[in-house]
A and B are shown apart, each in its own frame.
Chain A
Amino acid sequence: MDNGQKEVILKIDGVKKEYHMGEVTVHALQGISFEIFKGEFLVILGPSGSGKSTILNIIGGIDQPTSGAVTYKGADISKAGERALTRYRRASVGFVFQFYNLIPNLTARENILLASELGSNPLNVNELLNMIGLGDRGVHFPSQLSGGQQQRVAIARAVAKNPEILLCDEPTGALDFSTGIQVLKLLKTFNREYSRTVAIITHNAGISEMADRTLYIKDGLVDHVELNENPIDPEEVRW
């Protein structure tokens, strides 16, 4: 695929993030720049502490950079106010965490419903339940589901609003091989069938084989980018 033809959905431009802790200043991001294209499947790889989560949180509008710009469809979200940021998260972003973060008080179905009530063009909740293979488990509470099942509910919840971009921070980090594959398949489905942008952070280099592009991050900067002409199927991913 030719990058030139692709539409840029997010532009990260010279983003810095510093944490001041007394005398010490931690430079988590040192002026990182890259772009995310509409509809691509992006994998972000890098050593622990390199700044992956930090940049993903900034992109997702739950954290703000010290300096630099993050432009979404032409608007700079790095300088947006509280209300505008909330609107951005509500309408455009789906977030998936390593530790699911489902609401324990709500059933699987209600967890998804909660998010879909927020979207302006939500996906059908029952369809989503079927898609994640939990059509008959909708009435169960998170504590009654396995880790993989919980993560699938979390993904369904993230996509229920039908967001532009799906951001996942180590979505398979707490899962074993086969459940991990199921989750990856789900992400791929959302990417391909709904033509939504998906960006995932992982420590697992094998996963990058199913990506359109892989971003290697080191010391708060992009080390290099790898294009993948022939992404493999999630089933073929070697762990």
Chain B
Amino acid sequence: MILFLKAVRAIWNNKKAYLSCVVLVAVAIYMMVAMGSAAEALAEASERYYKSNRLADVFANVNSFPASAVSSLAQIEGINEIQARLVYDARVNVPGNSKIIWLRLVSFDTSYEGVSLNYPDITGRPLEHENDIWIGHAFLDIHSLEVGGSLDVIIEGRKSALNIAGMADSPEYVYAVRDPSDLLPDNEAFGIAYIGALDLAVLLDKRGLYNDLTFSLDNGYAFDDVKEALTEALSPYGLTALYAKEDQFSYSMLNTEITSIQAMSLAVPVMFTLISAIVLFLMLKRVIEQERTQIGALKTFGYKNREILFHYLLYGLVTSVLGGALGVLLGNMSVKYLIDMYTEFFTLPDVRETAEPSLAAAGMALAAASGAIGAYFGAKPALRLAPADAMRPPSPPLVKGDIMKTLPFLRWLLTSRGSMSIRNIQRSKARSVFIVLGIAFSFGIMEMMCPMMTMMTDMIVAKYEYIQAYDAKLSLRQPANAEDAARQAMKLPGVTMAEAIREMPVEIRRSNRKTGSILMGLTPETQLYHIYDDETKQTLPFPDSGIILNTFAADELGVAKGAEVMLKTAWNEDEIPVIVRDIVHQNMTSAVYMDYDTVNNMLDLPDSADSVMVRTTDMEGVKLSLDDTKNISSIEDTYSAMTNFEQMMNSYSSMTWIMVVLGTVIAFAIIYNSATISLSEKKREYATLRVLGMHINEVCEISNFEYWLLFTIGCLLGIPFGRFMLGAMNEMMKTMMENMTLPPDVPLWAVGASFLGCMTAVLLSNLSAKRTIKKLDMVEVLKERE
């Protein structure tokens, strides 16, 4: 009991040093509990949701598929159930809102016969009247719509009023974006609604036809087992996409997010508790050295080794358990907010908003283990002390392999004060290495995170200013002659320039390697689109014949300039060979490029464009006039797309700053703790120097020099380390976001910022050392025996 008091008092007397361990452990366990629970809750809720609402296993989009042929698909081996629907994106007319708003209308079989898959959660009355709809929560809320009210949409150029009969959320749109390139959901601009199947068929004039097919598979069958048969069966009806559940955008976004939260909730705690354990190890090691006479006394009183060891373990345990408890507490308190943050992006029902007790327990265990391990290895030397041994003052450390002897010229560079610094580093090698690694680590984190922000901005600028010089891209409902299309577009408000292009999905093959991309057919005189290379910062010459691949596709296929690749599109049966003219590096665009005429000729198509790029001074006007322009199905507005990206960037930027602050905190924790330990060791020396008549600043110089030297080495190591981490991050981004890559080089300012961050940590620590040295009571320190 007395020993417990002693431990608590010792920690209290050294609270600042132990506090940083408490903070490190608290952050670690907080992350583990809060993020781990969030991941768990999301995973559990989504699994339940997908299962109870029967998310389909395979998804297909076709131009039009006759109702009469549906039953034939059921013959395919492995197919269990089929749901055939009409899906149509309608423009919504919201008075006073100039944003382009889409409502995805999904047909719902009111006889409930075909509704066995992708079943939505419905509240409200049945779809009984004409043009009744159930609409998604988020869309309803953000537009302040009400059940019982109505909504104007434009379908095939005609305005129709839809009646809101209730609300429905779909397992297919947990992460609701209209187009995967949007990346971030915008509940204002895009919503989902269910409408009676017959109503929608009438509105679209597509009675007896479907354009959206989903399938569940028999037990034991996978997507690959049915892919070929389905492709064959659906191709005649204009198959535009066929993919498995795992590639369904909402499903895969949610899965990726859960996986990455899980990874974070594990990696960060392990890293932080490890650092805390090392800090405790170093502190305990020092405590043991300082208290050897006390330990000797305890041993002669008859205390057992076990009891003494436990006493010192308490130092670590008290610290880390305190940190762990704090982390669990914070985690418990904030898990709700964290989950709320996620459910803002992911529309999931019934997500449990409490912390996972098993994670709290695991967190406490991890905290306690890190404290015990750090303290145990630090305190172990106490066991080896014989009682009499411990009573004798420690022999002063012997400096072996004196650097001053091997490098005599250093003597000229440094005074005897300087050599004290150098020898101090030599004397405590383990601690010096720890400081260097700590600084390198913090430096690396900062160096990696800082540039992410500007890189993203640079990438956006490249994409929206250098590559896409147009203000908007209009997608045509029906392909049209290039000149006609451009002429029509010129009639839109404020349009000063219009260029028609051909755009289609393409599969590129080279022997047995395949990749998918978007093929863009551009006219040679194009002014609105540049095949601009992000790396060389140059626009490539136009490909008169052949194809320009992006680096991502080229890597996938393993081809270089001059190689021959095979193309397959929706328009050709047999693959067509083309020569790779060039390879372009574009960070955020995944297109491949050919000449407009070459594309049409190659595919035996008449001169037909499917999109028109325009430059306009009146974007609002263009948008508003769209309702009447029948041949335009959608509009991609460069400015809104950019704003959308910037919003995403902002959420990243806060993360960046958190990382920079964390980096500084870690660096500070490491340096400050090491400095505190080393100060307590050197109190006597510093007091002696003061008695000799050294000014406070002169004494500080000796201690500061040590840290500046270690800081320099740490930064030098940190530079390549940060680059390495950025590279690793890049690899991760590549696999997570397919074509998106980050430029690999670190800008100079980021190196500078990391440098400043670490420097701040050293400065703060040196300042606090100065305070200690200033307050040093010479009489008190020198009175004690060594």
Return the CB mask of B676-689 against A: 1 if under 8 Å, else 0. 00000000110111
In the assembled complex, the CB of A4 is this many whole angstroms from the nearest CB of chain B, namely: 33
Binds B, one of A30-38, A70-78, A108-116, A217-225: A108-116
The yes or no answer to B778 lying at the interface (CB within 8 A) is yes
**Per-position 1/0 for B684-719, Cβ under 8 A of A:** 110111111111100000000000000000000000
Asked if A187 CB lies within 8 Å of chain B CBs, one says no
Q: Is the CB of A62 closer than 8 A to any CB of chain B?
A: yes
A99 touches B785 (CB 8 A): yes
Given the complex of chains A and B, what is the CA–CA distance between A141 and B693 in angstroms?
22
Judged by a CB distance under 8 angstroms, whether A93 is at the interface is: yes
The interface stretch among A81-89, A207-215, A228-236 is A81-89
A53 to B684, CA, bound (A): 18
A105-129 with Cβ < 8 A to chain B = 105-106, 110, 113-115, 117-118
CB distance from A135 to the nearest CB of B (A): 19
Q: Is B144 an interface residue (CB 8 A)?
A: no
Q: Is A216 close to B, CB under 8 A?
A: no
Q: Is B417 an interface residue (CB 8 A)?
A: yes
When the two chains form their complex, are residues B778 and A86 in contact, meaning their CB atoms are under 8 A apart? Answer: no
Say whether B691 contacts A90, CB under 8 Å: no
Q: 8 Å CB contacts to B: which residues of A139-158?
A: 141-144, 157
Q: Are B696 and A82 in contact (CB under 8 A)?
A: yes
How many residues on the A side are at the interface (Cβ–Cβ under 8 A)?
Answer: 35
A7 touches B (CB below 8 Å): no
Interface centre among B423, B684, B691, by most chain A C-beta atoms within 10 angstroms, is B691
Total number of A-B contacts with CB less than 8 angstroms?
Answer: 87
Is B398 located at the chain interface by the 8 A CB criterion?
yes
Asked if B419 CB lies within 8 Å of chain A CBs, one says yes
> In this complex, what residue of A is CB-closest to B417?
A114
Q: Is A161 on the interface with B (CB-CB < 8 A)?
A: yes
Query: B685 to chain A: which residues have CB within 8 Å?
Result: 101, 103-105
Chain A neighbourhood of B786, CB < 8 A: 99
A118 in complex: contacting residue of B399, B420, B694, CB < 8 Å: B694
Residues on B with beta carbons closer than 8 Å to the beta carbon of A141? 396, 398-399
B401 close to chain A: CB less than 8 A? no
A35–B572 Cα distance when bound, in Å, is 114
The answer to whether A90 and B420 have CB atoms under 8 Å apart is no
B290 to chain A minimum Cβ distance, whole angstroms, is: 15
Alpha-carbon gap, A56 to B691, bound state (A):
13
In the complex, the answer to whether B779 meets A104 with C-beta atoms within 8 Å is no
The answer to whether the Cβ of B68 comes within 8 Å of any Cβ in the partner chain is no
The reply to whether A143 and B397 form a contact with Cβ atoms under 8 Å apart is: yes
Give the CA-CA distance A230 to B270 in the complex, in Å: 76
Contact of A62 among B420, B684, B690, B696 (CB under 8 A): B690
Closest to B785 in A: A99
Contact of A142 among B396, B684, B691 (CB under 8 A): B396
Tell which of A62, A102, A106, A110 touches B779, judged by Cβ atoms closer than 8 Å: A62
B399 near A105 with CB under 8 A, answer yes
Cβ-defined contact, B416 with A110, below 8 A: yes
Whether, in the assembled complex, A190 has its beta carbon less than 8 Å from a beta carbon of chain B, the answer is no
A7 to B424 Cα, complex, angstroms: 45
Interface string of B409-431 (1 = CB under 8 A from A): 00000011101100110010000
Shortest distance in angstroms between A163's beta carbon and chain B's nearest beta carbon? 9
Inter-subunit contact A91/B416 (CB<8 Å): no
Name the residue on B nearest A116 (C-beta): B416
Name which of B416, B420, B693, B778 has the most chain A CB atoms within 10 A of its CB. B693
Is B536 interfacial (CB 8 A cutoff)? Answer: no
Taking a contact as CB atoms closer than 8 A, the residue among A53, A86, A101 that contacts B695 in the complex is A86
Interface residues on B, range: 20 to 34
Q: Which of B416, B684, B691, B779 contacts A89 (CB 8 A)?
A: B691
Verify B397–A106 contact, CB threshold 8 A.
Answer: no
How distant is the Cα of A87 from the Cα of B698 in the complex, in angstroms?
A: 12
| Residue of chain B at shortest CB distance from A90 | B693
Provided the pairs A63-B778, A105-B427, A106-B420 are in contact, do residues A90 and B692 lie with their beta carbons within 8 angstroms?
A: yes
Residue in B closest to A161 when the chains form the complex, CB atoms: B693
- Chain B residues 49 to 93 lying within 8 A of chain A, measured CB to CB, are none
Once the chains are docked, how many angstroms separate the CA of A135 from the CA of B424?
Answer: 26
User: Which among B396, B689, B693 is the interface contact of A91 at CB below 8 angstroms?
Assistant: B693
A142-B396, A143-B398 given as contacts; is B782 within 8 A of A86 (CB)?
no
User: Is A86 a contact of B416 with CB atoms below 8 Å?
Assistant: no
In the bound complex, residues from chain B placing their C-beta under 8 Å from that of A63 are 778-779
Contact with B along A42-75 (1 / 0, CB 8 A): 0000000000010001001011000000000000
Given the interface pairs A62-B778, A117-B416, the reply to whether A104 lies near B396 with Cβ below 8 Å is yes
Cβ-defined contact, A89 with B692, below 8 A? yes
Contact of A101 with B684 in the complex, beta carbons under 8 Å? yes
B412 to chain A, nearest CB (A): 14
Q: Return B698 CB to nearest CB of chain A, in Å.
A: 9
A106–B685 CA distance with the chains assembled, in angstroms: 11
B427 contact set on A, CB distance < 8 A:
105
Residues of A within 8 A of B398 (CB): 141, 143-144
Q: How far is the CA of A14 from the CA of B609 in the complex (A)?
A: 107
Please determine whether B693 and A106 come into contact, CB atoms closer than 8 angstroms.
Answer: no
- A115 near B692: Cβ-Cβ < 8 Å: yes
Q: How far is the CA of A97 from the CA of B783 in the complex (A)?
A: 9
A97 touches B782 (CB 8 A): yes
Once the chains bind, are A105 and B423 in contact (CB under 8 Å)? yes
Residues A143 and B684 in contact in the complex (CB < 8 Å), given A86-B694, A93-B693, A101-B782:
no
Tell me, in angstroms, the Cα distance from A101 to B684 when the chains sit together.
Answer: 7
- B97, CB-defined interface residue at 8 Å: no
B395 at the interface (CB under 8 A from A): yes
Q: State the CA gap A94–B397 with chains docked (Å).
A: 26
Cα distance, A175 to B785, chains bound together (Å): 15
Check if B415 sits within 8 Å of A117, measured CB to CB.
yes
Q: Which residues of the partner chain B approach A88 to less than 8 Å between Cβ atoms?
A: 693
Give the residues in chain B near A41, CB-CB below 8 Å. Answer: none
A86 touches B690 (CB 8 A): yes
Look across to chain A and name the residue whose beta carbon is closest to the beta carbon of B786: A99
Question: Which has the most chain B C-beta neighbours within 10 Å: A93, A110, A113, A142?
Answer: A110
Say yes or no: B397 contacts A113, CB within 8 Å.
no
> Which of B399, B416, B687 has the largest number of chain A CB atoms within 10 A?
B416
Task: Tell me, in angstroms, the Cα distance from A53 to B424 when the chains sit together.
Answer: 31
Is A104 a contact of B691 with CB atoms below 8 Å? no
Kindly provide the distance from the CB of B700 to the nearest chain A CB, expressed in whole angstroms: 13
* B contact residues around A93 at 8 Å (CB): 693
Q: Could you tell me the distance between the alpha carbons of A79 and B451 in the complex, rounded to whole angstroms?
A: 56
Residues of A within 8 A of B695 (CB): 83, 86, 90
For residue A57, which residues in chain B have a CB less than 8 angstroms away from its CB?
A: 778-779
Query: In the complex, what residues of B have CB within 8 A of residue A102's CB?
Result: 688
- B778, A118: Cβ atoms under 8 Å? no
Cα separation A117 to B399 with both chains bound (whole Å) = 23
CA distance A214 to B398 in the complex (A): 41
Q: Which of the residues A90, A95, A97, A113 comes within 8 Å of B416, measured between beta carbons? A: A113
Residues on B with C-beta less than 8 A from A103 are 420, 685, 688-689
A residues near B (Cβ < 8 Å) are 53, 57, 60, 62-63, 82-83, 86-91, 93, 95, 97, 99, 101-106, 110, 113-115, 117-118, 141-144, 157, 161
10 contacts between A and B (CB under 8 A): A57-B779, A62-B782, A63-B779, A89-B691, A91-B693, A101-B685, A103-B685, A104-B396, A118-B692, A118-B694
Q: With contacts A87-B693, A105-B685, A117-B416 known, what are 5 further pairs, Cβ within 8 A?
A: A90-B693, A90-B694, A105-B399, A118-B694, A142-B396
| Complex A-B, nearest 6 residue pairs according to Cβ-Cβ distance, in ascending order | A90-B693, A89-B693, A105-B423, A143-B396, A104-B396, A62-B778
